[in-house]
Structure 1
Amino acid sequence: MRYISTRGEAPPRDFEGVLLAGLAEDGGLFVPESWPVLSSREWRALRGLPYPELAARILALFTGGQPDEAALKPLLAEAYAGFGHRAICPLVQLDTRVFALELFHGPTLAFKDMAMQALGRLFDTTLARRGERVTIVGATSGDTGSAAIEACRDREAVDIVILHPEGRTSEVQRRQMTTVLSPNVANLAIAGSFDDCQDLVKAMFADAPFRTEVRLAAVNSINWARVALQIPYYVAAALALGAPDREVAFSVPTGNFGNVLAAWAARRMGLPIAQLIVGSNRNDILTRFLSANDMTVRGVEPSLSPSMDIQVSSNFERLLFELLGRDAEQTTDMMRRFRTEGRMPVPDAAWRDAAEIFRGFALDDEGTLAEIARLHRECGYLADPHTAVGTAAALAVPPVNPAIPLVVAATAHPAKFPDAVRRATGSAPPLPSRLADLYERPERLTRLPADLDAIEAFVRAHARRNAP
């Protein structure tokens, strides 16, 4: 299995090379040179497997034997051993055709744990074998940072710096990052939006001398390994509901497009996914694109679902590459125009191809609170704001076939957003016992402007402090 860049100028890499590189040198994102496709018989053979074993089977399709399935099984068993539900990602039925796929039973109570807990261990084993060390730099709109820090804290060969937009995460999200005092962990509160943080991370990767100096690596979903590790839970849900002998559909609240791209990848591999619904908040660029081919950047507005407060969705580039027939030159031109002009004129044929599979739906804060209240009242289900966007989208978008089960990605535990849940329902769930003292823990963070030189100087000093 080899990987190529969406922009066509970076040399192909194997899985380990993609894991450690993150972003391609030409600014593009790595994708498989060819997609593995499973037959109906092969999908059926995966039914009933424990989640870690299922995940190992799927991930092994993308690793090219480094590591192989035998090595992945114990690694993934260890990664998911600490989850708070024995099923790892259980399905909960909400009505006759809608199910919630709970992805928040990991240590930081968000779907990012599903990939991050494995990713941290993949970094560890790969770097130990190669005798190398890396500096991970990531941007977060809320949940990626805490999941990455939890996965990488105290690891011998990894230093990690996470950028978050100051004042634009929930208090629980912030504290889950800033109360980890491990010496290899640093948190930067950036004066700006998530898009500013993401742009700074990409700029660091584009700075070739700096990238080489500090051995930069990525944990955001620009890293293909993150996306690959999210594919198995869509497979697990579809198989549980009758695939490959029955079609399924998914509704995914998303900002950076990585989570729903993993569902698209499962479809590309032959899983019978009839429809993918993209849920957005007031930052609705993806919904505008899918409904009217309007990919125009607007200002990022804070909302009750901060993990989706994004206008520039990095992983859309991977889908665009596929929609354009894997034309790297055209992809490069369109992405550069998007960055300079703030709009992306996607060809009508490519847009129509996307709209055949994807549907978009946007929900404002008032609607989000109403949906949290409805779910609690009618289903006895307590949802966080992001999951509520997903369930509202599932009900609002006409189904391809009403007989097809529709699975909503429940991406965060409601206790991560107590203020919003309390406003909607009158009460909020307590944090799990392992996080009960979160509000009393001391915090450590550094505030910086959205200035590349200042941030690179900080990262350089952090990496050198922790170097052997």
Structure 2
Amino acid sequence: MNFVSTRGNVNQIGFIDTVLMGLANDGGLLVPEKIPQIPAEKLEAMSKLSYQELAYEIFSYYVEDEIPANELKELIEKSYSTFRHPEVTPVQKVKENLYVLELFHGPTFAFKDIALQFLGNLYSYVSKKTGETIHILGATSGDTGASAIEGVRGKEGIRICILHPHGKVSKVQELQMTTVDDKSVLNLAIEGTFDDGQSIIKEIFADVDLKNKYHLRAINSINFVRILAQTVYYFYAYFQVKKEKNVESVNFSVPTGNFGDIFAGYLAKKMGLPVGKLIVATNENNILEGFIQDGVYKPGEFQSTYSPSMDIQVASNFERYLYYLVGENPNAVSELMENFKTEGKIVVNEELLHQVKEDFAAHGVEGQECLDTISKYYSETDYLLDPHTACGVAAYERCNEPNEVCVTLSTAHPAKFNESIELCNIEQTYPEEINQLFDKPQHLEVIDANKEDVVRNLVKLFSYTTK
């Protein structure tokens, strides 16, 4: 298995090099040179596997022989041994034809744990093999930061710096990141938005000399391993629903801001999983809904919402989808991304827009609709949705046909967003792991949102690692 850049100037690198490169050195994103195809008879056999066994089968298509089979299995077992549920990502039936895929049973109660527990262990594995200290740099709209820190903290040879938008994440999200007292962990709260942080990250990774000098590695979903790990639970959910409903295909409604989670579903579908509709659920920051409906990808004015992890205007993984939309033509992708840089928007023609509508449906869920959905489902089904999952369920109600079976991805435990739950006049009990965070001191630096301030703080972290 080889990987290439969406912009065409990085070709035929292997899995481990793809993990370490993160953002392609030409500024593009890394994708498999050829997406593996899984035949129907293989899918049937895979449907009988545990989550860990399924992860091994899917990872193996992309890893091939770069990690010995027994070592890959060990990495997977170690990564998912930290989850509170034996199925890792259990499927719950909420009502007829609506299922919720619970992705919040990991250490930080968020779906990011599924990829980042594995990626943290993989980075540790590579560090031990190469003897190289790994410096991880990432930005978060809320959940990635805590999951990334939890995935790598205490692992020899790894240091991590996470940027988050100051005052624009939930209190629990902030505490999960900033109560970690570890000299190998640096939390930077930037005076800006997640998009500002994401832009700084990309700017730093695009500086190849700086990236190589400090052995910088990506933890954000620009790293293909994040996408690969998330692909597994689409297969798992489909198999669980099919056992009960015996349907040919299943729709998925996905709360998304950075287009990573929904792209994982798109990849699963291209691998041969019988996925029907892929429903993109957004909030007021609805650039993705605008593109799917009108073919125009143009950031608007940033808005803070009840679902802060989706408060994103520029979706990092959107470029991966563009690559397949334009027929895997890197020159066309480069032209579109250059237009976005110079004109601030991407516009596709009617033919491509028709394909977009074949690939996705979309609905932007505004604040009151989000809260109403939480209240409605808690009242009618006694199931408590976090505000992001509520956006997914609201999009399901708008885009799903009555006879279609749909799985909504539940991306976080509602305890992480009690600010929104309280607005619905619902009292919830915090899990003890979250409850104890409120008594811990915080460790963070508040800085301006620019590359220079971030790099200056990074150098402090790196100087500690070299002592």
When the two structures are superposed, what TM-score results if normalisation uses the length of structure 1?
0.97
Match of 1:72?
72
Say which SS state the counterpart of residue 346 (structure 2) adopts. Answer: coil
Q: Does 1:456 align with 2:455?
A: yes
Would you identify which runs of 4 or more consecutive aligned residues in structure 1 move more than 4 Å?
none
Q: Which amino acid aligns with 2:352?
A: A
Q: Give the AA of the match of 2:441.
A: P
- The whole-number CA distance in structure 2 between the counterparts of 1:286 and 1:14 is 31
More deviation in 389-398 or 433-442? 433-442
Counterpart residue number, 1:252: 254
Could you tell me whether the CA contact under 8 Å between 1:134 and 1:217 is conserved in 2?
yes
Q: For 2:448, give the aligned amino acid.
A: P
**C-alpha separation between the residues in 2 aligned to 1:377 and 1:57?**
40
Tell whether the 8 Å contact from 2:172 to 2:434 is kept in structure 1 after alignment: no
3-state SS of paired residue (1:187): strand
Mapping of 1:87-166 within 5 angstroms?
87-166=87-166
Aligned partner of 1:284 among 273, 283, 286: 286
AA at the equivalent of 2:280: V
Whole-Å separation in 1 of the counterparts to 2:17 and 2:208: 16
Q: CA deviation at 1:12?
A: 2.7
Name the counterpart of 1:437.
Answer: 436
- Distance in 2, Cα, partners of 1:275 & 1:123: 34
285-294 or 270-279: bigger deviation: 285-294
Q: CA deviation at 1:11?
A: 3.6
Output the amino acid matched with 1:213. K
CA distance, structure 2, for counterparts of residue 445 and residue 349 of structure 1: 48
Q: What is the deviation of 1:245? A: 6.5
Structure 1: 5+ residue runs without aligned partners?
none
Cα distance in 1 for residues equivalent to 2:462 and 2:410: 35
What is the DSSP-based 3-state SS (H/G/I as helix, E as strand, rest coil) of the residue aligned with 1:186?
A: strand
Q: Who is 2:415 aligned against?
A: 415
Alpha-carbon shift at residue 294 of structure 1 (Å): 2.3
Aligned length: 465
Q: Which residue of 2 aligns with 1:235?
A: 235
For 1:218, the equivalent position in structure 2 comes to: 218
SS at match of 1:437: helix
After superposition, the C-alpha distances for 1:352-409 in whole angstroms (9 at most, x for unaligned) are 112112001011111111000011011110010000000010011143xx44320000
1:368 lines up with 2:370 in the alignment: yes
Deviations 1:59-79 (A, max 9, x none): 111112221443222211111
Matches within 5 A, 1:16-35: 16-35=16-35
State the AA in 1 paired with 2:462.
Answer: A
Quote the Cα distance in structure 1 between the aligned partners of 2:231 and 2:129. Answer: 26
Counterparts of 1:163-202 in structure 2 under 5 Å? 163-202=163-202
The one-letter code matched in structure 1 to 2:288 is L
Q: Aligned partners of 1:208 and 1:117: how far apart in 2? A: 27
Q: Paired residue for 1:427?
A: 427
User: In the aligned structure 2, how far is the partner of 1:25 from the partner of 1:467?
Assistant: 26
Q: Which runs of 5+ in 2 are unaligned?
A: none
Q: Counterparts of 2:303 and 2:60 in 1: how far apart (Å)? A: 40
SS in 1 for 2:297: coil
Q: Which amino acid aligns with 1:312?
A: V
Give the Cα separation in 1 of the matches to 2:247 and 2:393: 25
- The amino acid of 1:433's aligned partner reads E
**TM-score, normalization: structure 2?**
0.97
Q: Distance in 2 between matches of 1:128 and 1:193?
A: 35
Partner in structure 2 of residue 337 of structure 1: 339
- What are the Cα deviations for residues 206-239 of structure 1, in whole angstroms up to 9, with x where unaligned? 1122111111100100000110000110000011
Alignment-mate amino acid for residue 22 of structure 2: G
What is the distance in 2 between the residues matched to 1:398 and 1:117? Answer: 32
The residue type equivalent to 1:460 in the other structure is: V
User: Partner amino acid for 1:345?
Assistant: V
User: What SS does structure 1 have at the residue aligned with 2:424?
Assistant: helix
Cα distance in 2 for partners of 1:398, 1:319 equals: 22
Q: Percent identity?
A: 38
- What SS does the corresponding residue of 2:447 show, helix, strand or coil? strand
| CA deviation after TM superposition for structure 1 residue 246, in Å | 1.7
- Contact 1:251/1:391, CA 8 A, preserved across alignment: yes
Contact 1:274 1:357 in 2 (8 A): no
Conserved? CA contact 1:35–1:268, under 8 Å: yes
Residues 52-107 of structure 1: per-residue CA shift (max 9 Å, x gap) = 11111111111122214432222111111121111111111111100000000000
Pick aligned residue for 2:316 from 299, 314, 317: 314
Are residues 1:295 and 2:297 paired?
A: yes
SS at match of 1:99: strand
Query: What's the offset of the Cα at 1:335?
Result: 0.9
Shift of 1:347: 2.8
Mapped to 2, the partners of 1:100 and 1:296 lie a distance apart of 31
Amino acid at match of 1:110: A
SS, match of residue 461 in structure 1: helix
2:354 to 349, 352, 355: 352
In structure 1, C-alpha distance between the alignment counterparts of 2:17 and 2:210, rounded to whole Å: 18
SS at match of 2:446: strand
